[in-house]
Chain A
Amino acid sequence: MERKTLTAAAVLGLLVVGLAMPVEAKTRINLWYGLKGYLGKQVVRVCERFNAAQNEYEIVCTGKGNYDQALQAGIAAYRAKKHPHILQGVETATATLMLSGAIYPAYRLMADAGYDVDWSDYIGSIMSYYASSDGKLYSFPFNSSTPVMYYNIDMYEKAGIEGPAETWEQFEENLRSLKASGTACPIAFSTYLWVHLEQFSYMHGEPISTRNNGFDGLDAELVFNRTSYVKHVERLKRWYDEKLGSYAKELFGVGTRESFATGKCGHYFGSIASHGTVLKSAKMKWNVAPLPHNEGVTPNNTVVGGASFWILQGFDEAEYKGVAAFFDFIRSVESQEFWSTVTGYVPTTRSGYDALVAKGFYKQEQYAGREVAIESLARTPPTPLSRGLRLGYFRQIKKIIGDELEQMLAGKKTAQEALDNAVKRGNEQLRRFEKQYKGQSLP
């Protein structure tokens, strides 16, 4: 009797499973991202487009707050074995993620899933940031941008300035002319390290740390207190002291971008990804230009910032096939075009960029200027000092440098003292990271 019931139940169960099969056939892929607001919604649209484009897989994209929070959530989930297949990781966490032992390198995923990817289609300076030292991609670049200078043309005309400055020396003169012509706030600025330390050093071919900015080993040491960055920091201090601009921290609601977009301040340095946002609110004539460089220097390329998609370990082959299909989709020309158009992030592949150029995208009035970003990224082929940074605990190091620079602005330290201490404290972080991953080396 009992056996009969069991058999009946098993048969019934199989039937139910069989009936459910066609509905449940899609393999589910989870992705966690760290973008909020408008940009977050666009990530979801990319996922929806992937779901609409094929029938085998269903990707579910979930927002986890900002970059830091998404990484925290990913780590907590990984430790609890409840992690997503794909995690968006901010660029400063690259070294941590590469050494985590939790990731499935992008190049291997694609090879295992049987895709023959033309890696040279990725734009060199974007690729190099997320690749191992022998050029193999570890995570898929997704939202990539680079900073540019936003300037207010109306204010320029009033002050009789002809065009955006190419050099920092000229730029400072322009700020003074703007001030003299009655502009209360020639620039909204902060110590923004991504622009003033990182891109500045890349463009000038100067090291941020030894060992080629950390790419060659975990024993790198910070050296930015001995480069022309010191003079540049003194320049920021002058802007603050001479009241050439307003020091605007994101924290206080009105950041540099809002100060510029509302027409209050004449300049700001920020990501090209904000092009669309500024466009929506700006009522004045404005444009973007490449970041200035010091006089007498031929600048190198700038480097990408933003985030990339990391594939996490612990899933079966069938699911990874879906993950690979998703990445194959986002590197397609159509998806590249879509993402760049709706956000302002640069296309990560040459074919994507070429398609946009061919369509006359950068000639359209509302998108004019966005090509400045890709031009500065591609200005020169990346040199060992303009590939990016691969330093452990870099998120903390940035916080340390920011703190020291604020103490300098408050007049508690000179630029040299602040940077010397930042290097000392930063190196302690690097040594801690090295000890943490003892015996391991960056790929």
Chain B
Amino acid sequence: MIKRVLFRNRLLPYLLILPEVLIVFVFFYWPSAKALFWSFTLEPPFGGVAQWVGLDNFRELFSSPEYYESAGITLIFAFWTTLISMGLALLLAIFVDRVLRGLVVYRTVLMWPYAVAAPAAAVAFQFIFQPGVGFFAFLNDIWPGIWDPNIVGADAMAMVIVAASWKSITYNFIFFLAGLQAIPRTFVEAAALDGAGPTRRFVTIVFPLLSPTFFFLLVINVTDSFTEGFGIINVMTQGGPGGATNILVYKIYQDGFVGLDLSGSSAQSVVLMALVVALTFVQFKWIERRIHYAE
């Protein structure tokens, strides 16, 4: 049964929702509207009169090979971080789900990395991956020059993907574990009695029942990797070497805040927002169809 609260006072519900609406307005709608406006103008950094330039900013953006490169890099980054963080989180959650003793300890310990701020995690990983003195220096001792994220773009990319995945594994883990524990034992046990092995049980029973969680995490992870890679990249590579880790959201920051091209970076924000909305839409349209929501 759905619980229904009835408000006698007509004004009260609106008043109750007002703080939330105000916050969303101030931190989302207002800045978004401003960015949308700026993307059609040339806004001087110190303020003053903005010139209306129509679609010029977008035209310049779409004629720049570097922009497409940055978009491609973003897709690679998003794909691998989502894959690694969700894959490993699921694996860890399955292991922990089967643990009988010390469950609380595992659960707590595995949650910690989520509490680490992205820049702090990035500093730690930077030390690990440092080609000269870091943990990875031993690779260069064996094969000189094999690991050099200072210059080699692929190395730098691998480094930020690992750091970003590590950050979000825990978040995914919590959800997967909760999802797994919500699956009635009787289903799994019945399948086991019928002679289904662990893999079979997972594929035919556990995973379908877990799919709402999976879908939720997929949407969150993809969206996050488009926007949240910033903290890691700002500390570890600043988009380098040679632009190899210059994901869209970092480019927005670089062009807008460091380079002071407010309008160019607003146009990029608008495109990025459209892209994320489109991706989320695609996920709901095509992937959600296959999801079974339990009643």
Contact = CB atoms under 8 A, between A and B. Distances in A.
Given A428-B60, A436-B44, 14 more contacts: A71-B260, A72-B257, A75-B45, A102-B46, A246-B132, A251-B236, A252-B130, A252-B131, A406-B242, A407-B241, A407-B242, A410-B152, A425-B66, A437-B44
A389 interface: no
A226 to B, nearest CB: 22
B130 A253 contact: yes
A91 interface: no
Interface of B: 42, 44-48, 51, 53, 60, 64, 66, 126-127, 130-133, 150-153, 236-243, 246, 254-255, 257-261, 264
A437 B130 CA distance: 43
Contacts, number: 98
A254 interface: yes
Interface of A: 68, 71-72, 75, 78-79, 93, 96, 100-102, 240, 246-249, 251-254, 393, 395-396, 399, 402-407, 409-410, 412, 425, 428, 432, 435-438
B264 A432 contact: yes
B201 to A, nearest CB: 47
Contact of A75 (B46, B133, B150): B46
Q: Which of B48, B255, B261 has the most CB of A within 10 A?
A: B261
A124 B238 CA distance: 36
B223 to A, nearest CB: 26
Nearest to A264: B132
Contacts of A436: 42, 44, 51
B241 A410 contact: yes
Contacts of A253: 126-127, 130
A68 B239 CA distance: 16
A248 B151 CA distance: 10
A251 B238 contact: yes
Given A79-B46, A96-B45, A251 B240 contact: yes
Nearest to A406: B242
B244 to A, nearest CB: 8
Contact of A78 (B46, B237, B240, B241): B46
B101 to A, nearest CB: 42
Nearest to A410: B151
A68 B258 contact: yes
Contacts of B51: 435-436, 438
Contacts of A79: 46-47
> Nearest 10 CB-CB pairs, A to B?
A406-B242, A407-B242, A396-B259, A100-B46, A102-B46, A406-B241, A403-B243, A79-B47, A436-B42, A403-B242
A436 B262 CA distance: 11
A395 B261 CA distance: 11
Given A100-B45, A436-B42, A403 B151 contact: no
7 contacts: A101-B48, A249-B240, A252-B130, A254-B133, A395-B258, A395-B259, A396-B254
Given A75-B45, A102-B46, A247-B150, A432 B60 contact: yes
Given A101-B46, A254-B132, A403-B240, A432 B258 contact: no
Contact of A435 (B42, B127, B150, B241): B42
B150 A78 contact: no
A249 B259 contact: no
B259 A412 contact: no
Nearest to B264: A432
B261 A100 contact: no
A240 B145 CA distance: 11
Contacts of A412: 242
A212 B47 CA distance: 29
A343 to B, nearest CB: 25
Nearest to B56: A435
Contacts of B259: 393, 395-396, 399
A401 B71 CA distance: 20
A77 to B, nearest CB: 10
A403 to B, nearest CB: 4
A31 B79 CA distance: 46
A248 to B, nearest CB: 8
Nearest to B256: A72
Nearest to B42: A436
B237 A251 contact: yes
A36 B222 CA distance: 37
Contacts of B242: 403-407, 410, 412
A79 B45 CA distance: 9
A71 B259 CA distance: 11
Given A251-B238, A432-B60, A393 B260 contact: yes
